[in-house]
Structure 1
Amino acid sequence: MAVRLIGYGLSTLRDPRPAEAGALLAAGCHAVFLDITHRTSSPRPARDAAFRYVRPGDCIVIVRFSRFASGLRNLHDLLHQLDDARVGLRSLEEPIDTTAPDGDLVIRAVDATLQLQAAWIAEVTTEGQAAARARGQRLGSPPKLTPEQADLARQMHAAGHPAPSIAAMLKVATSTIYRLVRQPSAPDTAEDSAP
């Protein structure tokens, strides 16, 4: 039984490509799904429809990967989704065909690239954090309240004011006040504790 070829293309409003559908039909696709969008990161209802349409043994044909996936992580996920469904993927402009005898190399190469990218980002992030700490920079989100506001919130809560009203007065979330009153207050400074 011949492999069914299902075409998928993407046209942006800035770069309409009616020729893309023609190229997919010329490649022998018996059905073509085409998304038309204003940017490549937009939802892809036609691609989703193509994924629902295919059956095991089919092959999705694309013009090139940049019009199929919105990035490396998305490409990784789509390749694995197709592989799990036993559906191939072939690009017309790139020498990539997962139905070829060595087609699993494409998936393994994307997996390895994604792992390398994640390791690289983690290493750069760790080095950047270490350098920031060495310069004395505080990491993480800035505190929601100044030390004075935090002291005021603790005093008001101890005096019986409800957390939601304290939060409204200080323009923070109620959960911020609850977290604050559960934490021990900062130790008194020598100046504060001096007789």
Structure 2
Amino acid sequence: MLIGYARVSTDDQNLDMQVEALKKAGVSEDHIFTDKVSGAATKRDGLAGALRAVQEGDVLVVWSLDRLARSLKQLIDIMDFLDRSKIGFRAVTGAIDTTTAGGRLIIHVFGAVAEFERALIRERTRAGVAAAKARGVRVGRKLEATPEKIERAKGLIRGGMAFRAAAKEVGLAVSTLYRDIPGGASSLLDEENDVDIPADR
């Protein structure tokens, strides 16, 4: 059985052209599901209905790939579902038909491209983390600044330890310690040098 799916992005757009193309491709009108939503929308009742309707041995037919999905990942996810369920896929434009060897090859290429894209993202992430570490930026979970750690750091700084060294000693990022001691080491030393001067008599 052929199950059709058509989508337009807004209520102002017309589904007629896609529906007619699906009917010419052999899809019965009562087996055509439609949506009037953006492809990026997470909730598409028409697509959900079409995917529930197709059974093993059926073929899902769309006007074009961009009517089905708006990202490569989304497309691959749907194709994986269809492949696992032994359901064919056909795009009226683009000459993609997974019931043929050529169509299956195209989908495998899409999958390889998607995996390549994921690998590039992982590589860029690792490179970014390495570069941040090289600049001295702390990467990962933020260290919690407890009152005990702050007071201990203050004591170390008043005792002559450098601000950065004190932060490391108590297990805090320098930026975290600066938030609790805005003026840095000098502000703590100023506190010690403050003299309680009586008001003028």
User: Are 1:80 and 1:107, in contact at CA under 8 Å, matched by a contact in 2?
Assistant: no
| Structure 2 residue aligned with 1:40 | 39
* Aligned counterparts of 2:133 and 2:12: Cα–Cα separation in 1: 46
Give aligned-pair identity as a percent: 31
Aligned length: 157
Q: How far has the Cα of 1:190 moved from its partner?
A: 5.8
User: 1:98 — aligned with what?
Assistant: 98
Task: Quote how far apart the aligned CAs of 1:140 are.
Answer: 4.0
Q: How is 1:43-58 mapped onto 2 (pairs within 5 angstroms)? A: 43-58=43-58
CA distance in 2 between partners of 1:14 and 1:133 (Å): 50
Q: Which consecutive residues of structure 1, in runs of 5 or more, have no partner in the other structure?
A: 156-184
Q: For residue 138 of structure 2, give the secondary structure of its aligned residue in structure 1.
A: coil
Q: TM-score, normalised by structure 1?
A: 0.69
**SS in structure 2 opposite 1:56?**
coil
Q: Choose the corresponding residue for 2:18, options 17, 20, 30.
A: 20
**1:1-195 matches, cutoff 5 A:** 4-13=1-10, 16-18=13-15, 19-30=17-28, 31-37=31-37, 39-42=38-41, 43-140=43-140, 147=145, 150-151=146-147, 189=156, 191-192=158-159
Asked if 1 retains the 8 angstrom alpha-carbon contact of 2:11 and 2:36, the reply is no
The CA deviation at 1:142 is 5.4
Relative to the length of structure 2, the TM-score reads 0.67
User: Which structure has the bigger radius of gyration?
Assistant: 2
Seen in structure 2, the aligned counterparts of structure 1 residues 60 and 154 have a Cα distance that, compared at 3 Å, is same
For structure 2, the 5+ residue unaligned runs are: 162-201
